[in-house]
Structure formats: C-alpha cells, structure tokens
C-alpha cells in the first residue's frame, strides 16, 4: 500500500518500496488504470507545473527525444499536470507544429488536483500547480525511486535514464552501483558487491577476491565487472 497518512491527516504519497497506489485517470490517450495497465512494464510518471510554460516544454521535448531509450528498457513514460485534456492536446499540437516533436506518451489531465495531491506533487509554498516530481515504478508496481525538482529548474533526462538503468542492473546482477555510474571517475562502470553480513561471509569474500572479475580494496569494498 502507499505511504501512511501523516499526523495532520493529509494523504501520504508513495515512498520507495511502497506499492504504487491504484489510480484511474483521464489522459490524452484515453482512460487508464495505473499501475494495472502497465503490468509487466516499468513506467516513469512525471508531473509538470503547467501546459504552455517554457521549462515544461523543453522537458517534454527532451523526454520524447529519449522515449525510445526508455522503451528499450521496457519502460513507458506518463506525464501529468492539473490541466484539462484539451489543454494538453493544444499544447502538444503546438510542440509538434513549432518544435517538430510529436509527443507519443500519455499525459494525465488532473484538473481537480486529486491525483497530484495523492502523489505529493503539490507542495506548500509552491502554489497550486504541481512541482516537477518523478516516480520510477517497476514491473511489479513497486515505487523504486522518487525525485522532486523545483519549478525553476528543468529535469536532467539523462539522470532519469541513468537511475532507471541502475535500478534494472541491480535487479539483474544483484549489485549496487557507485556514484556517477556508469562513468565513475575512479571505478568506471564497475559495480559494487553488497557488504557481507557475517564473519563467515566476510571470510568467504576474501577468498573470492582472487578471481579476476573482482577488484577488492577490503572485504566490505569490492567491485566487479558486469
């Protein structure tokens, strides 16, 4: 289930490790039920403060230009703002006409703000529109990453993709990923083994580090090629 209700009685938003809440939403691609309609797929749901705004426009162009890279990782994109469907359609038509990018992913029309409130996308002190929230949700409907950006700063699409790839690499290889992976200044694209939890496992780790695939500095700090 999603995060617990807080002490003030306001709805909590899904935290890392929570099941993403069930939502029935109207979008530019028709009615969708999230996460059920994306069963077996990952998705990135991101909010923007409003249609016909400059920073949001650059973000939508950026997400669309990288959409195939998300698709290669079995991941769909979903936008959201507290605008009407008609506004979304007019805005994406403008993007197509003026910037030559046809937005191919659905945009949730949350005119009432109900979805944005449930997902914690409206922050006190930031007005009634949504901040730039990002939820990365896995193929089992579990929230894996949550990011927030202020209205004044556009998102780094490369970082969203990097986070997605790192999460999926963790799932596939049972490893952790260093800072700035896969372009860490000191360790390149190597991954980190989880530290042993017992003395026996630590001793076993020391025996394993002689294998060529490992690069060990200590029993708790061991890297491997993936």
Is residue 5 scored above 80 in pLDDT?
no
Phi, psi angle pair for 218, to nearest 5°: -170, 175
Q: Give the pLDDT score at 1.
A: 37
Is residue 52 scored above 90 in pLDDT?
yes
List 56, 131, 136, 175, catalytic entry: 56
Instruction: Give pLDDT tens digits for 11-48.
Output: 478 999 999 999 999 999 999 999 999 999 999 999 99
Is residue 163 scored above 70 in pLDDT?
yes
Q: What is the mean pLDDT of the chain?
A: 91
Q: Give the pLDDT score at 211.
A: 58
Domains in the chain, CATH or no CATH each: 23-156 (3.40.30.10), 174-226 (3.30.1020.10)
Q: Is 56 marked active-site? A: yes
Is residue 70 scored above 50 in pLDDT?
yes
Q: What is the pTM of this model?
A: 0.90
């Amino acid at each position: 289930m999603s995060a617990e209700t807080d002490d003030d009685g306001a709805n909590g938003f899904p935290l890392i490790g929570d099941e993403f809440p069930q939502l029935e939403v109207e979008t530019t691609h028709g009615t969708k039920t999230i996460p059920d309609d994306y069963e077996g797929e990952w998705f990135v749901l991101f909010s923007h403060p409003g249609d016909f705004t400059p920073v949001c426009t650059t973000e939508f162009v950026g997400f669309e230009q990288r959409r195939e890279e998300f698709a290669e990782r079995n991941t769909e994109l979903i936008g959201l703002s507290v605008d009407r469907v008609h506004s979304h359609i007019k805005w994406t038509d403008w993007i197509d006409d003026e910037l030559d990018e046809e937005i191919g992913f659905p945009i949730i029309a949350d005119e009432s703000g109900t979805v944005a409130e449930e997902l914690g996308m409206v922050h006190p002190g930031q007005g009634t529109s949504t901040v730039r929230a990002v939820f990365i949700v896995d193929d089992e409907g579990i929230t894996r990453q949550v990011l927030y950006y202020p209205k004044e700063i556009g998102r780094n699409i490369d970082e969203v993709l990097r986070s997605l790839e790192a999460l999926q690499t963790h799932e596939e290889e049972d490893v952790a990923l260093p800072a700035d992976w896969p372009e860490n200044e000191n360790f390149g694209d190597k991954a980190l083994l989880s530290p042993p939890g017992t003395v026996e496992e630590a001793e076993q780790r020391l025996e394993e580090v002689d294998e060529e695939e490992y690069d060990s500095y200590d029993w708790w700090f061991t890297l491997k090629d993936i």
